């Protein structure tokens, strides 16, 4: 495969991952969800906990391809860096819009800049993309290997051995660990509304999240190499096995945990991402078994767009409300869910059916963009 050739399997992987994000973020009701469609309560790793690290891994693979292509075209490095900073700012801004929408301007929305959440999924993607891109462009591959290992070990050491101020000892508990303390110190009231005392996309835990993207970069380097496709596939599976086992072993000391993005979690999820990418790569790019990929391509080529818009619409359905005949307030979301899903399905299946239909509606909308060759690049 030529270095500039588009990796269809990566688009499909991205599309499946974004579908997964929408699936787990938009149940019919949060009161009835299949266990694998929830995040682990604290330690552990469910299907839902794989989605975000998979996306950061994909970001890393894409960095290897896109920045190598841009460099080979011989353009200005200044322009390339400016484009990286522009994308970072746009991603971060979209994350803030998702956090604050509609900023108290409609639907009696309560909003305050003093309490808006600053961290978030898109904000973490922005910082990881920025740091990983600069590292890829300015350092050698050997340095990048050492750096990735170092940040995972240093983060594990900080969390495991540094006494938490006000607590007196290191720990991995939700509200008293070092990452939570730093979030409160720096961000104060601007934390996730679910806790207000720590944030799942907080400051310190973004450090090992860079490792998730760097492992994706190393994977992209392998796929761009001159090795034959069979060798590449074998190495993807071997690398996935090594990382998954290493993460599992490390978890006995530093547990798998998405909320504080533990180093063991980075290795374990990257290993699984390598397995899945190897499967997609072999069947799509090597064997050309592509009859099934179009829906995932449609999602994958407008990934950030559909994630952002589905989040905005999902929020608006909670905000549009009226008073029912019984005098109680009912939201548009509850009305549609109760009428078209809960009326004939068990709650847990109705909740899943809502999420699946929501995915299909957005697939239709994104297919219109795909048909018109409209790909909104951030």
Report the mean per-residue pLDDT for the chain: 95
pLDDT at 5: 67
Q: Structure pTM?
A: 0.96
**Spatial separation of the C-alpha atoms in residues 48 and 28, rounded to whole Å:** 16
Per-residue pLDDT of 344-370, as tens digits, reads: 999 999 999 999 999 999 999 999 999
The pLDDT of residue 75: 76
CA–chain centroid gap for 324, Å, is 38
Cα–Cα distance measured from residue 68 to residue 55, given in angstroms and rounded to the nearest whole number: 20
CB 72 within 8 A of CB 3: yes
For residues 240 and 275, the answer to whether their CB atoms sit within 8 Å is yes
Over 114-132, what HEC string results?
A: CCCCCCCHHHHHHHHHHHH
- Could you read off the pLDDT of 205-220 as tens digits, one per residue? 999 999 999 999 999 9
| The residue to which tokens 């072993």 are assigned | 249
Q: What is the mean pLDDT of each run of 10 residues along the chain (378 residues)?
A: 71 98 97 96 97 98 94 85 97 97 90 93 98 97 98 98 97 96 94 86 97 98 96 98 98 98 98 98 97 97 97 95 86 96 97 98 97 92
Q: What is the 3-state secondary structure (H, E, C) of 259-307?
A: CCCCHHHHHHHHHHHHHHHHHHHHHHHHCCCCCCCHHHHHHHCCHHHHH
Cα 42 to Cα 157, 170, 260, 261, 367: the distances in Å are 20, 17, 9, 11, 37
Question: Residues 6 or more apart from 342 whose CB is under 8 A from it?
Answer: 28, 29, 350
């Amino acid at each position: 495969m030529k270095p500039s050739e588009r990796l269809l399997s990566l688009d499909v992987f991205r599309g499946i991952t974004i579908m997964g994000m929408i699936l787990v973020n938009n149940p019919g009701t949060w009161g009835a969800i299949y266990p694998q469609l929830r995040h682990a309560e604290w330690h552990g790793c469910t299907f839902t906990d794989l989605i975000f690290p998979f996306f950061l891994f994909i970001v890393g693979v894409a960095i290897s391809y896109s920045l190598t292509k841009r460099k080979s075209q011989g353009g200005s490095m200044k322009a390339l860096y400016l484009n990286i900073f522009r994308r970072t700012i746009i991603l971060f801004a979209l994350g803030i819009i998702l956090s604050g929408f509609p900023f108290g301007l409609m639907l009696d929305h309560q909003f305050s800049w003093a309490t808006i959440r600053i961290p978030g999924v898109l904000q973490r993607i922005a910082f990881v993309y920025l740091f990983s891109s600069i590292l890829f462009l300015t350092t050698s591959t050997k340095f990048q290997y050492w750096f990735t290992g170092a940040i995972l070990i240093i983060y594990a050491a900080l969390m495991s051995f540094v006494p938490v101020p006000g607590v007196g000892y290191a720990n991995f508990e939700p509200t008293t660990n070092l990452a939570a303390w730093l979030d409160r110190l720096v961000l104060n009231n601007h934390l996730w509304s679910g806790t207000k005392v720590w944030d799942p996309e907080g400051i310190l835990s973004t450090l090992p999240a860079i490792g998730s993207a760097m492992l994706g970069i190393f994977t992209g380097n392998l796929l761009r190499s001159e090795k034959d496709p069979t060798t590449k596939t074998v190495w993807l599976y071997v690398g996935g096995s090594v990382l998954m086992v290493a993460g599992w072993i490390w978890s006995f000391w530093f547990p798998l945990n998405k909320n504080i993005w533990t180093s063991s979690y980075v290795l374990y999820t990257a290993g699984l991402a390598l397995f899945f990418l190897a499967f997609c790569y072999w069947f799509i790019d090597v064997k050309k078994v592509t009859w099934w990929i179009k829906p995932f391509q449609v999602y994958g080529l407008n990934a950030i767009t559909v994630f952002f818009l589905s989040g905005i619409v999902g929020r608006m359905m909670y905000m549009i409300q009226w008073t029912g005949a019984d005098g109680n307030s009912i939201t548009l979301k509850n009305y549609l869910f109760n009428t078209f899903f809960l009326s004939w399905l068990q709650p847990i299946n109705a909740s899943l059916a809502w999420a699946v239909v929501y995915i299909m509606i957005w697939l239709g909308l994104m297919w219109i963009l795909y048909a018109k060759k409209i790909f909104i690049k951030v």
